Amino acid sequence: MEETISLKELFDTLKKRFAMILLITVIAIAISGIISYMFLTPIYQSSTQILVNQSNEGQQNYDINQVRTNVEMINTYRVIIKSPTILEKVQQDLGLEESTSQLNNVVTVNSEQNSQVFTVSVQHAEPEMVAEIANSVASTFESEIKTIMNVDNVKILSKAEVPISPIKPSPMLNMAIALVVGLMAGVGLAFLLEYIDNTIKNEQDIEKQLDLPVLGVIAEMNEKQIQQSNRMSKARVGSERFEA
């Protein structure tokens, strides 16, 4: 019985504070949408794939040891791609204003486990520039690795293309998160206000606070009811005088 009453009180609190909860949620969604669409800079991403193949041209069958060596060398290639040796040349070829450390932050190298193919991804605020940087990094690496490590087993599989839409920010995702956060904040504030509100509003509060039974209740009357009651009282008094 206690659990039913407690659950009913929870729903009553939510019902009573529903307007406040809805207002907080709408404000949170609106703020998130305004920030996402008007203040956050769109970031685009483009990628190119590079293959580390076998260096023995005359060998017809794959050597598993050679393949394993090529896969292990990807970690070395990852470091070389993000090194100043490659990024400085990319900066000079494209005439970029970004420093090599800034380029290092926008270039990422990923590879699948036990795969000879790895992906060079670039994120930038300009869609055309992001594809140029990715392709320049790949081509510079392909040409410079021959001098750096004296190998020719690297080949570009696919070039980066100009992206159509940004990958972030995602306004709809941000607004969905704001919806959840605003709803939680509104519900939490509703229960907090209900907890700190110790005013007596009805007879149930009197029984709860004083632990005494309620013997009677004075009903509330509006102005129209008061005027009607006064007229009835005057009529009753006049009738009594007439009878006397």
How does residue 51 score in pLDDT terms, banded at 50, 70 and 90?
A: confident
Least confident range from 57-61, 62-66, 147-151, 165-169: namely: 57-61
Can you give the pTM of this predicted structure? 0.65
- Amino acid letter for position 192: L
CATH topology of domain 44-158: Alpha-Beta Plaits (3.30.70)
- Residue 211's pLDDT is what? 67
Instruction: For helices 127-148 and 84-94, give the axis angle rounded to 10 degrees.
Output: 130
Long-range Cβ pairs for the range 11-14 (8 Å, 24+): 13/190, 13/191, 13/194, 14/187, 14/190
pLDDT one-digit tens code per residue, 103-129: 999 999 988 777 788 899 999 999 999
Q: In the chain, list all ranges with CATH 3.30.70.1130.
A: 44-158
